[in-house]
């Protein structure tokens, strides 16, 4: 990827369905070239995109869903076999390989705590090669991949993207069955054409186009553009676990979310009650970053830190060992909780 590719991905992180002609004026590269480059990036597995539903903040508590992080220890030499068994499960949103005393960390989405417990105890724990599991129920997400940005565009370009005409200001308070169909249609490719989705669900192109415009600005849907970070220069991913005094948890979480290196940050129910995933160009940056965090938040005690040498699945997208996109499994969250986004 070169500078134009990074600028294009950054632009689509901000405005995922912007037209090529709109982007031409902002990025400074002609529309045909941008379209060709995007197709090349997607076809090569370097970039992919997602769309998913979240429960509106005012939604009923019973449907808000539960997100859990689960450590998985594997028999020596069995990690890949375990990955192959669990990756197709639509409720396993994300799988990351780790260093340290466990081999995998999973992100699960279920309707209830009981359903998480049932899956871990009766399905995950019985997969051949699984030695042990440890579950951490999440509380508040201060940041996740939807709000992470490459940060290569200047402020003028960002303002121009945010100023593009909005067509979804009349979005309903909650998604309709039509919106749910359209979200599923966009789940593995947020730039999929309205015509293709209309043909699939048996609706008019105009109806689908209007629904897409609405969900892009609705509080009950999210979009994101991801990339094979280890292939394009982010060579070090670290997961850090903090113990933070409860009365400072929100302040520290919100502060960590503001760091450009922070990919994900959430509070959990555990003695280490806050965790963050940091993406860096080089592992040597971690010493400086850890010292910076310690100065800014002296009461946030680091309890553990792991390397994440490989991402095997990310929000339904299964990745090859190289980190490139391989295939997509439609996630099966009832609707991710409304805290599945950055709060600051």
Tell me the pLDDT tens digit for each residue of 312-339.
999 999 999 999 999 999 987 655 655 5
- Position 342 scores a pLDDT of 40
As a whole number of Å, the CA-based R_g of the chain is: 20
Q: How far apart, in whole angstroms, are the C-alpha atoms of residue 102 and residue 44?
A: 31
Q: How far apart, in whole angstroms, are the C-alpha atoms of residue 344 and residue 340?
A: 12
Look up residue 121 and give its two tokens: 């105890």
pLDDT digits (tens, 9 = 90+) for 110-163: 989 999 999 999 999 999 999 999 999 999 999 988 888 999 999 999 999 999
DSSP 198-247: HHHHT--HHHHHHHHHHHTT-TTEEEEEEE-TTTTT--EEEEEEEE--GG
Q: Closest Cα to residue 130, out of 86, 184, 64, 168?
A: 86
Predicted TM-score (pTM) of this structure = 0.90
Give every CB contact of residue 2 below 8 A, 6+ residues apart in sequence: none
């Amino acid at each position: 990827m070169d500078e134009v590719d990074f600028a294009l991905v950054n632009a689509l992180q901000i405005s995922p369905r912007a037209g090529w002609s709109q982007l031409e004026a902002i990025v400074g590269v002609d529309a045909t070239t941008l379209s060709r480059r995007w197709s090349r990036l997607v076809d090569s597995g370097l970039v992919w995109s997602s769309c998913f539903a979240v429960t509106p903040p005012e939604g009923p508590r019973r449907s808000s869903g539960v997100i859990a992080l689960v450590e998985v220890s594997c028999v020596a030499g069995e990690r890949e076999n375990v990955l192959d068994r669990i990756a197709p499960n639509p409720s396993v949103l994300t799988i990351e390989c780790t260093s340290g005393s466990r081999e995998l960390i999973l992100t699960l989405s279920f309707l209830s705590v009981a359903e998480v417990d049932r899956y871990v105890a009766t399905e995950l724990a019985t997969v051949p090669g699984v030695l042990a599991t440890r579950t951490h129920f999440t509380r508040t997400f201060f940041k996740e991949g939807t709000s992470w940005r490459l940060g290569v565009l200047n402020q003028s370009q960002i303002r121009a993207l945010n100023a593009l005409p909005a067509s979804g200001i009349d979005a309903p308070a909650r998604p309709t069955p039509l919106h749910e169909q359209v979200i599923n249609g966009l789940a593995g490719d947020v730039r999929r054409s309205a015509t293709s989705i209309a043909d699939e669900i048996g609706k008019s192109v105009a109806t689908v186009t209007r629904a897409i415009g609405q969900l892009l600005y609705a509080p009950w849907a999210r979009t994101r553009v991801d990339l094979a970070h280890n292939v394009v220069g982010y060579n070090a991913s670290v997961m850090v676990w903090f113990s933070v005094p409860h009365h400072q948890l929100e302040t520290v979480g919100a502060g960590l979310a503001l760091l450009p290196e922070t990919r994900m940050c959430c509070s959990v129910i555990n003695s280490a009650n806050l965790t963050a995933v940091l993406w860096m160009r080089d592992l040597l940056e971690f010493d400086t970053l850890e010292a910076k965090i310690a100065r800014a938040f002296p009461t946030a005690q680091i309890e553990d830190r792991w390397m994440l040498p490989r991402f095997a699945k990310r929000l339904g997208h299964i990745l090859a060992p190289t980190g490139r996109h391989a295939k997509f499994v439609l996630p099966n969250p009832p609707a991710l909780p409304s805290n599945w986004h950055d709060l600051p």
